A and B are shown apart, each in its own frame.
Chain A
Amino acid sequence: MSERKFEPKVLALCCTYCAYTAADLAGSLRLEYSPNVRVVKLMCSGKVDPILLLRAFERGADAVFVAGCAQGECHFLEGNVRGKRAVQHAKRLIAELGLEPERLEFFHIPASDGPLFARCADQMTARARELGPNPLRSSAQQDAGSALEQPRDAHPALPQCRAGVLIRAAEGDE
């Protein structure tokens, strides 16, 4: 590690309808919260997949939190339930591979609660400070493999329409 003081990188994945609006409100209210938080806006916390969370840690995030709507108030009815489940599953997966599951959290933040967003941001930053740097940070740029290219299935040519009549490739051109 360098001599510089450790500054955690915290990623916040925020639902646009609630947590992101709350973050906006926190700004409007001129609330001070930890500048370590990088906010990414999502259409719904239910879009969060465990793989995204794992990749965030592989790329060196010190803490990640997903913030969705309040319980029972999800704009998409149950997106926040799915988001929460994805976070819980990802916590299990990172614990299994040897990272502290506390680096990851899900919060319910209603759109009207700017101060809560600020508190969550501070809490996760404090937690990252306590846990220290993500040990994967130093190897974040190291390539460790990826998905293999698969040839796309060959599809037959789409039928053409001439004078209102469909001509399929198999029938040949007249």
Chain B
Amino acid sequence: MIVAQRKSLERIEQMLEGCEQILVVGCGTCVAVCMAGGEKEVQLLAEQLRMRGKLGGLRRTIDEITLTRQCDHEYLDQLAPHVHNYDALLSMACGAGVQLLAEHFEGRLVLPALDTRFIGASDAEGQWSQRCSACCECILDLTGGICPHTLCPKGQLNGPCGGADHGRCEVDPENECAWALIYRRLELLGRLDQIRTIQPPKDHSATTRPGRQRHPAFDADGSED
């Protein structure tokens, strides 16, 4: 999932300066799971803003709503009857959600309440770590399901480098060396010979921004390639 974290209240207040009618819009998908922008977090942020407003003697209204997703136009339609009541929509979605919301209601001020961090997975209660860099060239079949491009700070596709110390990374000893992990995993799988495969340099053109994708079933002309 996409992992994000909430901006500081200070920063959010800065963005909201001069706005009196504010709608906090939550997202019930990735950011709800990583406890950054789901229904609960919307309640808490809206409540903080209400209390902050009252403490500052502001006459402002903070309403809240949480949609299933903000990265799909269909779900954003639910806001249509409401948006005209607000000076600002404070989105608690990832950057994709914020942008689609801004596009869907062009001419409305849409503000981000979160900092989007990475594609990750859950390590423990309340903890997530990055697992994928969306590189568009997945080689997890060769590395025992451990991504060196993401887990190695150097992104080495042919590792390990010479800096690992007792299986710890020289860049950050907090982290285990991705290639030490890969070695052990491949050993466990009885596929250690795979580590000898030399990976060609990564084709970074595949991740030229902005990325676009069309599902083959939705080819414009329906013709077969």
Contacts and interface: CB of A to CB of B under 8 A. Distances in A.
Interface in A51-89: 51, 54-55, 57-58
A165 B16 CA distance: 59
Interface residues of A, number: 25
Given A93-B44, A97-B48, A142 B54 contact: yes
B52 A51 contact: no
Give the dominant DSSP class at B's interface.
Answer: helix
A135 B46 CA distance: 18
B40 interface: yes
Contact of A98 (B22, B23, B55): B55
Interface in B99-147: none
Contacts of B82: 148
Given A54-B47, A58-B47, A97 B63 contact: no
Interface residues of B, number: 24
Nearest to A50: B44
A146 interface: yes
A143 B186 CA distance: 61
Contacts of A94: 51
- Closest 10 CB pairs between A and B? A144-B50, A145-B62, A145-B61, A139-B54, A148-B65, A145-B63, A54-B47, A97-B52, A97-B48, A96-B9
Given A51-B47, A54-B44, A99-B51, 5 more contacts: A51-B44, A58-B47, A96-B48, A135-B55, A148-B64
23 contacts: A51-B47, A54-B44, A54-B48, A57-B51, A58-B50, A58-B51, A93-B48, A94-B51, A96-B8, A97-B52, A99-B51, A136-B51, A142-B54, A144-B61, A144-B62, A145-B63, A145-B64, A146-B63, A146-B64, A147-B43, A148-B82, A150-B65, A150-B78
